Structures are given as structure tokens and as C-alpha cells.
Amino acid sequence: MELFPSNSNINFMRMRMVSLTIAGLLMLGAIISMMTGFNYALDFTGGTKTEMTFAKPVNVEEMRQRLEKNGFPGSEVRTLGASNEIVIRMRLNKSNSDSKKITEFSEQVLKAAQTPENPGKVSPSVYVGPQIGNEFAWNGLKAAIFVVLGFLIYVWVRFEWKFAVAAIITTLHDVLLVAGWFAITKHELDLAVLAGILSVMGYSISDTIVVFDRVRENFRNLQRISPADVLNRSVNQTLSRTIITSFVAFLTVLALYLYGGNSLQGMAESQMIGIVFGTLSSIFVACPLLLWLGVSKQDLLPKAKDLAELERRP
């Protein structure tokens, strides 16, 4: 199945200065927006935790909406073991920051959460600090650095250093735009969103490597044309694959966003934004970056150890 013929000749390289300028401005805007701060969730800010046990199983989403209507916005509601055991986490405010009134606060939460048909019992609320969230955030940062270094080494060994630099810049472009989106919209940033942002890195680099691999294969068969033409044909030949794969992935994450509940919406949102930007960057950023870095025919030439493998490919 092809949305675009493999022999199409859309001149993406002619638009490279425009696309790279737009990408650079978007990255700058994302960095500036991140400097204004994020809307951190309880994983990073801390708050109170209240455990409840109900007579019957409860619907987590309905309970979250009920708490919202009764004056407890932004509550995190999750099951704790059995479906009738619930843990509710809330940010610190005037009503739950005084330890002397914590029992009274717990009763208020229970009153808002239970229904006449499904009464419950509550344990006294306890304060939960942000240390766990900070630890996970630091581990996430270290994981991101490790992934970037791993990508850099792999692409450097597999291709050439200019390909590695272009791939890493393209990946950072996508990650920064996703993070900038959450900074601008002030949607909650929790550990699930952090996991979604890390997954964007994998999707972005995978899409870019597919294009770069086609670049290398094409140069062996198109040695008499310029590097710009090789890059342009490679993007055109992988265009259908890129769009179809991204569309299917987007539909999957969209279903998670619509039906996965409030706790998964942030992660799904970050992945959807990442898929959109990752698709556009593999078309308009990755190969133009190669030309901007001054890629030459020697850089595009397949290494001798790969010639036998390329001969076997259809």
C-alpha cells in the first residue's frame, strides 16, 4: 500500500532552509517556555494520601469526577489491591496542610467520595513528600542521557558521525517540542508523562534511521547524482511508509487517550504529540540537517563490510 508513489519527486531539500529555520525557532520557543516552569503533578510536588475501603467495588473515573464536583479538584484516584480499596492523593492546601486537622480532612474526603449505595471507611490521611518523584525524575534524566549516548554510538558506528549528529539533533528536537507543549499548556507533568517523553525518543530515532538506511542504499545505486538528490529521493521513497506507520501508531495512542482513563491521558498525549513531531522531523529535519552539516559522497558510501549484505537485499 502506497499513499505516495515510490518514484515521486517532491523537492524537500529545496525547502531545507525554511524547514530548519522553523525547527530551530520551535526548539527555541520550547526552551523558553520550559524556563517558565511546568505544572508538576503530585509525583513531584508531594501532598496527602488517603486510603479508603468501600463495601462494593468502585469505578475510579466516577469517583474522580465526584471528588471534582465536591471541591477536591486534581485528585489522583487509584485502586489499592482489591477493586474496593482506593487510595486518593491530593496536593497540599489550606485544608490538608495542618496535621492537627488531618482526621477532619479525611472525613471530608470520605463524605465526598462515598455514596449511599456504597459507603466506605477511611484511614487518616498522611503526608507524602516529593522525594520518590524526584528520585524517579533524576533516574529518568539519567536514562535519557544514556539513551542519547547509545543512539549516538550506534548511528556513528552504523553510518558516519554526521549521520549520528543529525539523528541526535532531530531526536532532541522532538523531545524538546513535546516538553515545551506541556510547559505552554500547563498540563500536568507526572511520571507517566515522563515515560511518554522517553518513548518519543525511541520512536523518533527509529523513524530517522529508516530514512538514513535508505539514503545509504540509494547511494550505491545512484552514485552519479548529487548528495542532495540522494537525500531527496530517499525521503520520497520512505514517505508512504513513514506516514502510514505514524498514522497507525497515532490511532493506537489516541484510543489510549480517549479510553485509558485520566491516569494515562498525560502519557498518551505526550506520545501523540511526539508521533506528530517525529513524523515531520524525519521528513523535514533529518536529511536537511545532513546537507547543513556538509555531507559528502564519502559519508554516504556504504562501508565495505556492508556491501555483501546490500547485495542480498531486493
Q: How confident is the prediction along the chain (314 residues), in pLDDT tens digits per residue?
A: 566 666 678 888 888 899 999 999 999 999 999 998 888 877 777 777 888 888 888 888 888 888 888 888 878 888 876 788 888 888 766 555 555 567 777 888 888 888 888 888 888 777 766 655 566 667 767 777 787 787 778 777 777 788 888 888 998 899 999 999 999 998 888 878 888 888 888 888 888 888 888 888 887 776 677 888 888 988 998 888 889 889 999 999 999 998 887 778 889 999 999 999 999 999 999 999 988 888 776 665 545 445 555 455 54
Do 269 and 192 form a contact (C-beta atoms < 8 A)?
no
Cα distances from 53 to residues 56, 125, 271, in angstroms, run: 9, 13, 34
Per domain, the residue ranges of the chain are 13-39+131-312, 47-128
| Residue 15, all three cell numbers | 525547502
Q: Within 46-101, where are the H helices?
A: 60-69
Rounded-to-10 torsion of CA 58, 61, 62, 66 = 110
Phi-psi domain of 128 (left: phi exceeds 0; alpha: psi -120 through 50; beta: other): beta
Q: Is 231 helix (H, G, I), strand (E, B) or coil?
A: helix
pLDDT at 93: 65
Give the CATH number of domain 47-128; options: 3.40.920.10, 3.30.70.3400, 3.30.390.10, 3.30.470.20: 3.30.70.3400
CA–CA distance, 201 with 147 (Å, rounded to integer): 8
Say what the pLDDT of residue 1 is.
57
Virtual torsion, Cα 280, 285, 286, 292, nearest 10 deg: 170
Residues 6+ apart with CB under 8 A from 129: 46
Which amino acid belongs to residue 305? K
Phi, psi torsion values for 20, nearest 5 degrees: -70, -35
Rounded Cα–Cα distance for residues 228 and 126 (Å): 62
The 8-class DSSP code of residue 225 comes to S
* CATH topology for the 13-39+131-312 domain: Multidrug efflux transporter AcrB transmembrane fold (1.20.1640)
Cβ–Cβ under 8 Å, residues 148 and 168: yes
Please list the residues that pair with 88 across neighbouring strands: 50, 77
Spatial contact of 226 and 207, defined as CB atoms under 8 Å apart: no
pLDDT given for residue 300 in this prediction: 58
Please name which of 151, 131, 155 lies closest in space to residue 143, comparing C-alpha atoms: 151
* Residue spans of alpha helices (H) in the chain: 16-35, 42-45, 60-69, 102-113, 131-158, 161-185, 191-221, 227-237, 239-259, 262-284, 286-292, 297-300, 307-312
Q: What is the C-alpha to C-alpha distance for residues 101 and 90, in angstroms, rounded to an integer? A: 15
Strands 82-90, 39-40: pairing is: unpaired
Q: What is the pLDDT of residue 250?
A: 94
Residue type, 181: W
Cα–chain-centroid distance for residue 63?
A: 28
